[in-house]
Amino acid sequence: MTINTIFYIIVATLYLISAWGVYSSARDIRSKLGVWVRPAISAGLFLQVYLIYEALFTHGTPYFGLALALSITLFACTLILLIESFFSRVESLLVFILPIAAIGTLFPIFLPGTPLEPETASFSFRVHLLLAILAYSLMTIALIQALVLMALHNWLREGKAGKALGQEKDGSIIQNAPSIMDMEKMLFRLLWSGFLILSAAIVFGSAYTHGLFGVFFRFDHKTVTTLLAWLVFAVLLWGHHLRGWRGRFAARWVVVGFCILMIAYIGLRLVIEVGR
């Protein structure tokens, strides 16, 4: 077992322990995160920064693939939510992200990826890659937020029925989540941020493609699905701004857009790397 494998396991353990701490505090709206939770998450993030740096910059030709992309994406998700936790209650998101991040942290052990081609050293490609990972991270948080929002809508519907029967629910994460209005505001802030960054990633990706092949878009699997996901999010944001789309309807379309976006890279890379 290598030292990096041990570090991967330590990071996953820190995230899982932190998830338990977040879950404990999220069950009671009056409680706050334990004083140890943020330091534990921060320690995991610090170790993960080293692992990401070691994978990309210390072996000559860097290896990059599905596992490392997922690991970096979930790292960014965790970091964004850790920062957000100082300003608002995001326990309902952290309690989902942290276990996923723990599992995703271990993926590079089994799927180390493939060497990057020499042409990927270009400025436009590196900016495209950075922006794409950041966009995926924001859209991942938006997905979790949308799922929690749908669960909250369902809980309210069931809660009304429960009150009619004299049966109150208590101590659930969904019940102690922020109000629906606050969650919807955060959801669309995430969507706008992710959409703008995804748009920039597409622009830099087209510049890289033009420099390499002489065309701005190659209509392959990845390009078509990325543009389709971009269109879904554009229509959703347009509908929210002009038509007032919100609630479960908007949340469902977030799930649809996210799934298409993930197919754009993860589905293709999974087939390529696992099939090797």
Collapsing DSSP to helix, strand or coil, 115 comes out as: strand
CA atoms within 13 A on the CB side of 195: 19
Residue 276: pLDDT above 50?
A: no
Q: What pTM was computed for the model?
A: 0.74
Q: Is 213 helix (H, G, I), strand (E, B) or coil?
A: helix
Phi-psi region of 268 (alpha: psi -120 to 50; beta: other; left: phi over 0): alpha
| pLDDT tens digits, one per residue of 196-212 | 999 998 888 888 777 76
Are 19 and 94 spatial neighbours (Cβ–Cβ below 8 Å)? yes
Please report the pLDDT score of residue 12 as a whole number. Answer: 95
Residue 231: band (very low, low, confident or very high) from pLDDT cuts 50, 70, 90: very high
What tens digit of pLDDT does each residue of 17-35 get? 999 988 887 666 566 777 8
Domains in the chain: boundaries: 1-116, 122-276
